[in-house]
Amino acid sequence: MAKKFGLVLGSGAARGWAHIGVLRAMEECGLRPDVVAGCSVGALVGGAYLLNALEAFEAWARELQPLSAMQAFSFNVARGGLVNTAPAFKAFAGYDRRIETLPVKFGAVAVDLGTGEEVWITEGSVIEAARASSAIPVIFHAVRRERRWLVDGAIANPAPVSLARALGADVVVSVDLNAVPRVLDRFNPPPPHTFPPPVLVSAGEPLPAPETTPLETVTKLIEDTRKLIDQQIEIAKLRARERPHLFETAYAAADIFQMHLARAHAAVSPPDICLEPDMRDALPTAFDRADEFIEEGRRAFLERREEIEELLA
């Protein structure tokens, strides 16, 4: 019996355009998943793929400018959020189907505001499932579904490998967009200064001829030490004057939170292969950088292509 291939597309807001590149690379390799499990933007891209709307979705993503994405949304302070995403999703309403009718098993992760529990959406409208899974708290409106108010699944399970396994996947490839988080590395202490290791000489061997005189060696050591101290003093002065900014702190904290949350879930339900596109330079709001994000996703998949094909063989 052939192994069932499960693809997990994780959360990441605008970074989710990398999922398009993963899917394109997968198609290039002649692979098609039997199961797709998505969270947040991963549910959105995965849903577009299963609805045969990926080409239209990719064209839309590549045309976005820094502010044009918001023009498709409606600002309305209600239902627990600032922005109503329904108008944007209506643009793809013509592609919508019920999850039960898809040729591939599909599930999206959301969170119940009333209980705090993780919710797996495996039936009903694909578009509504994606909208609930990607309802970022405070920013986007919560979505009403069967007497529940649902929000973004990223606050519970950013890369839902467990859902893919529950849907029957034997081999799971997970795409974790938060594995390489955006941290404020300018506040990271520099590595300690290291000196070259001593030259080891076996007993009986003649000592190598010195390249410099002892006086030159001591002089260089003193000069290097002085430069290092001056550098450390300057770095300390700069850090004393600078503090983390509000929004970059929020971005970094969200990344770090999702990184640890995904790691915790992976410890319990690990994927067979985890693709980790390097998205540390990608703000979650950078919807206008689809070209480079798509290429990064494609690169991440092709880099592990042989391993994936071997597992599925």
pLDDT at 196: 56
Is the confidence at residue 233, as pLDDT, over 60? Answer: yes
pLDDT at 235: 65
Is the confidence at residue 181, as pLDDT, over 60? Answer: yes
Catalytic residue chosen out of the listed positions 152, 176, 255, 272: 152
Strands 5-9 and 81-84: unpaired
Give every CB contact of residue 165 below 8 A, 6+ residues apart in sequence. Answer: 6, 172, 269
Q: Is residue 281 annotated as a catalytic residue, yes or no?
A: no
Average the pLDDT over each of 123-132, 260-269, 298-307 and give the range with the smallest value. 260-269
Model pTM score: 0.78
Compute the distance between CA of residue 26 and CA of residue 226 in angstroms, rounded to an integer: 54
pLDDT at 130: 95
Cβ–Cβ < 8 Å for 278, 249: no
Is the confidence at residue 201, as pLDDT, over 70? Answer: no
Q: Is residue 288 annotated as a catalytic residue, yes or no?
A: no
Compute the distance between CA of residue 296 and CA of residue 19 in angstroms, rounded to an integer: 9
Residue of 149, 116, 156 lying closest to 131 (CA atoms) = 149
Angle between the 54-63 and 290-303 helix axes, to the nearest 10 degrees? 130
Residue of 85, 80, 4, 74 lying closest to 41 (CA atoms) = 85
pLDDT at 205: 63
Catalytic residue chosen out of the listed positions 11, 40, 125, 174: 40
The whole-number average pLDDT for the span 275-294 is 87
Compute the distance between CA of residue 200 and CA of residue 85 in angstroms, rounded to an integer: 67
CA dist list (Å): 194 to 61, 164, 198, 211, 225:
47, 47, 12, 20, 11
Residues in a beta bridge with 148: 145
pLDDT tens string 242-252: 677 777 777 77
